[in-house]
């Protein structure tokens, strides 16, 4: 995929720990990592994600329902943000986890302490990391600007 000039993403750091995130970064030319939350287990991996600008597609409800974390209160979403890592809120498998992107934003607000400004920043990070052409990115950027 990478040799064809397409951007790459991979799942890591969900069931396996921070080592799986590091391994993904060592082995694959990824720009995004699905989940990646267990990177918090290693400060060097956190620093590497921030330094290399790798975006994490974080799915709080999935992580809580699969018992990766026992609650939203201890979910490391804010720790990842505080470490300077680009993160977005995602729904993983919406029918299975009975969630939507909108619900993930509501959970981030009501259970994880994020305010509207934080949520806009997260949307901006998601847009910057989106695998879309520049015209589509600009179109979405206008919608985000209009909504805020």
Q: Which of 41, 29, 126 is nearest to 83 (CA)?
A: 41
41 assigned to active site: no
113 vs 77: CA distance, rounded Å: 11
DSSP annotation of 86: -
- Which one of 14, 31, 124, 134 is the catalytic residue? 14
Give buried/exposed letters for 71-103 (b at 16+ CB in 10 A, else e): ebeebbbeebbebebbbbbbbbebeebebeeeb
Question: Catalytic residues, which ones?
Answer: 14
């Amino acid at each position: 995929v990478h040799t064809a000039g397409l951007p790459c993403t991979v799942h890591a750091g969900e069931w396996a720990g921070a080592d799986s995130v590091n391994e993904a970064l060592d082995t694959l030319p990824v720009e995004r990592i699905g989940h990646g939350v267990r990177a918090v287990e290693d400060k060097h991996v956190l620093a590497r994600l921030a330094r290399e600008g790798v975006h994490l597609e974080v799915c709080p409800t999935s992580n809580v329902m699969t018992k990766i974390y026992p609650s939203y209160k201890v979910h490391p979403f804010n720790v990842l943000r505080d470490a300077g890592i680009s993160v977005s809120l995602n729904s993983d498998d919406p029918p299975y986890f009975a969630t939507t992107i909108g619900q993930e934003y509501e959970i981030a607000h009501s259970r994880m302490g994020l305010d509207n400004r934080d949520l806009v920043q997260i949307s901006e990070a998601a847009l910057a990391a989106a695998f879309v052409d520049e015209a589509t990115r600009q179109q979405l950027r206008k919608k985000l600007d209009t909504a805020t």
